Amino acid sequence: MAKDTARSSSRTNVRCALLLLVDVQFELPRADETNMSSFSSVQAEEALQQIRPPALAHREAHECASALMVGDVPACYRAFSEAVTWEDRWFCLEHMASQSVDRALVDAWVDGWPDHPLPLLVRAAIDAFGPGSAASDLDCITQIEPESPLGFGLQIVDLASRGSGDLEHPLGQMLAIEPLYEPHARYLRSLGPDAGGDIEAVIGFARSVNDVVPAGSPLRAMVPLAAVEVMVAERPADHLACLDGYDLRDAMMMAAGQSVFHPHFVGPPSIPGIKAMTAFVVGLMLLGEDALATKMQAFEQRRAEYFQFRESIDQRAESEYKVKITPILDQIKLIVERIGKEKGYGIVVDSAALAVLYIDSDYDLTNSVLAALARGDD
């Protein structure tokens, strides 16, 4: 998935004569982010500008998932270890769980690293966010790594998705370590009508969280999330009247000002979704339903234009890449053919297409090919 800042890159590794590597990278310009300095200066137009196309802007999450997809568990572990905060690591797990990962590979990883929490966390995330139960793995995780909030957060997701169990215990355990955003959102939704609860419980939980977390915390966005849940559950003809009926209008605006529009707001990697949700409700409050609908139509048009622009940039990058790399590859092929004939080789293997487990250094053509390239030989 591309970043929301119109950015695209193309990178390729070309290996020939067993060990040669040519690395070519193109980076396209990215648009500046629009940041809000304070809620007091926010108008509806600016609020709506915060809604961006969904983006995953986390290098570690992509590297974790990419490594796991090809079975490189050491690389997956390294990328996960480079994630700095608990929110970053949670995002890595959530992203890996969303991919089509080979379950047999993950099971083998768990068996191979029996006392390490990461493979258990990955398998538990796949089950917790999917149709399975992660209870057994999560019990092991919280015993192996009781100082981590990840296992307790996944317990909330697992129990909420299955609609059973005591969610308050893992919530309390997680809060004692790190108040992760997504498990809170899952817990809030578990209190609603779709899970057999009621709207009053949803609003009560959101208010209780809002009362104890500091300004700038993403958890202040629990009240806007509760407002969205109210509108989804009630499906009112007049949304503003519905929110007024639950005394949410002022609380919602205050919470928005103390969360995503606060100058000290530091959000988790899921920040685009949080901003979009909050901006939508703020836009509803400030504009009214008809004007908001007009603005949203304009946004959809801009969103379509953005994706068209991104596609054109991708195509241009691919075209430019081919123009740049094709002559180099043709030259390499001629050099390899010449050196192979001169040295009497019967075959030269492209190591990018075939895994080479061992090579005698006497047969490594890398230095010869590089020297010929430097001289401009064919």
Task: Return the domain boundaries, the chain.
Answer: 58-190
Q: Are 207 and 251 in contact (CB under 8 A)?
A: yes
Q: What is the pLDDT of residues 180-217, one digit of tens each?
A: 888 998 888 888 888 788 889 889 988 888 888 888 88
- The mean-pLDDT minimum among 34-38, 91-95, 124-128, 142-146 falls in 34-38
Task: Check residue 5 and give its pLDDT.
Answer: 33
Task: Report whether pLDDT(92) > 80.
Answer: yes
Residue 360 binned pLDDT confidence (cut-offs 50, 70, 90): low
Task: Report whether pLDDT(310) > 80.
Answer: yes
Task: Report whether pLDDT(49) > 60.
Answer: no
Question: What is the rounded distance in angstroms from the CA atom of residue 126 to the CA atom of residue 106?
Answer: 10
Q: What is the pLDDT of residues 264-295, one digit of tens each?
A: 776 666 666 677 777 777 777 777 777 767 87
Per CATH, domain 58-190 is 3.40.1340? no
Q: What is the pLDDT of residues 334-359, one digit of tens each?
A: 888 888 888 887 777 776 555 444 45
Question: What is the rounded distance in angstroms from the CA atom of residue 65 to the CA atom of residue 97?
Answer: 9
Task: Check residue 11 and give its pLDDT.
Answer: 26
Residue 126 binned pLDDT confidence (cut-offs 50, 70, 90): very high
Task: Check residue 221 and give its pLDDT.
Answer: 83
Task: Check residue 209 and give its pLDDT.
Answer: 87
Residue 156 binned pLDDT confidence (cut-offs 50, 70, 90): very high
Tell me 194's DSSP state: G
Residue 53 binned pLDDT confidence (cut-offs 50, 70, 90): very low
Task: Check residue 63 and give its pLDDT.
Answer: 87
Task: Report whether pLDDT(68) > 80.
Answer: yes
Mean pLDDT of 236-240: 81
What residues contact residue 1 under an 8 Å CB cut-off, 6+ apart? Answer: 54, 55, 56
Task: Check residue 266 and give its pLDDT.
Answer: 66
pLDDT top residue among 23 and 62: 62
Average pLDDT over all residues of the chain? 75
Q: 3-state secondary structure string, the chain?
A: CCCCCCCCEEEEEECCCCCCCEEEEEECCCCCCCCCCCHHHCCHHHHHHCCCCCCCCCHHHHHHHHHHHCCCHHHHHHHHHHCCCHHHHHHHHHHHHCCCCCHHHHHHHHHHCCCCHHHHHHHHHHHHCCCCCCHHHHHHHHHHCCCCHHHHHHHHHHHHHHCCCCCHHHHHHHHCCCCCHHHHHHHHHHCCHHHCCCHHHHHHHHHHHHHHCCCCCHHHHHHHHHHHHHHHHHCCCCHHHHHHHCCCHHHHHHHHHCCCCCCCCCCCCCHHHHHHHHHHHHHHHHHCHHHHHHHHHHHHHHHHHHHHHHHHHHHHHHHHHHHHHHHHHHHHHHHHHHHHHHHCCCCCCCCCCCCCCCCCHHHCCHHHHHHHHHHCCC
> pTM of the predicted model, to two decimals?
0.59
Question: What is the rounded distance in angstroms from the CA atom of residue 265 to the CA atom of residue 49?
Answer: 17
- The mean-pLDDT minimum among 53-67, 98-112, 120-134, 189-203 falls in 53-67
Task: Check residue 151 and give its pLDDT.
Answer: 94
Task: Check residue 15 and give its pLDDT.
Answer: 26
